[in-house]
Amino acid sequence: MLSKKQARAFFLGGTLVTFLIFIGLTIFSLSKDVDQTNHENITEAVVRGKNLWDSNNCMGCHTLLGEGGYYAPELTKVIDRLNVKYNGSGEQVIKSILMSPVPWQPNGRKMVAYGFSNEEAEDLIAFFDWIDDIDLNGFGEVVGVDKSISPIARERMNNQ
């Protein structure tokens, strides 16, 4: 059994070690070497797409990065998944859904017909493309997907 003095020393020593480990891990997680946010690739189109996402309450039905409603599909890595399903036409499929004048009804669930303009659809696709390029440590990965930069991102980088 520990004496009162030994128990106090054990508690204070353990607290100090735990605090130092916490501070070290905090500093490590904030270092640029482990940054996984992809923030350097945020463009005006990505910002407009995010604003459209928010103003139309897409998160009320869809999840993104695991957060949101569970009524409609998870849209993290949606371009990659649709590229696999539709032989590289994922962005075109998304664009046609977003610009459709009639409600989209896959599997009996109905998505509002937003009737976005071509520019708005491109902005949302740019937002999804940016989300897809965030390093998520394997979350939402699709087996067999080419990890190279998407055609939209490549075109935007060439135009800048």
For helices 118-132 and 78-85, angle between their N-to-C axes, nearest 10 degrees: 100
Residue 155: the pLDDT is 57
Query: How far apart, in whole angstroms, are the C-alpha atoms of residue 109 and residue 113?
Result: 13
Residue 35: the pLDDT is 67
Rounded to 5 degrees, φ, ψ at 151 are -60, -40
Residue 44: the pLDDT is 95
Query: Which parts of the chain register pLDDT below 70?
Result: 34-36, 138-160
Residue 53: the pLDDT is 94
Q: pTM value? A: 0.68
Helices vs strands, H then E, count in the chain: 6, 2
Nearest to 124 by CA among 46, 65, 68: 46
Q: Are 158 and 136 in contact (CB under 8 A)?
A: no
Beta bridge partners of 64: 67
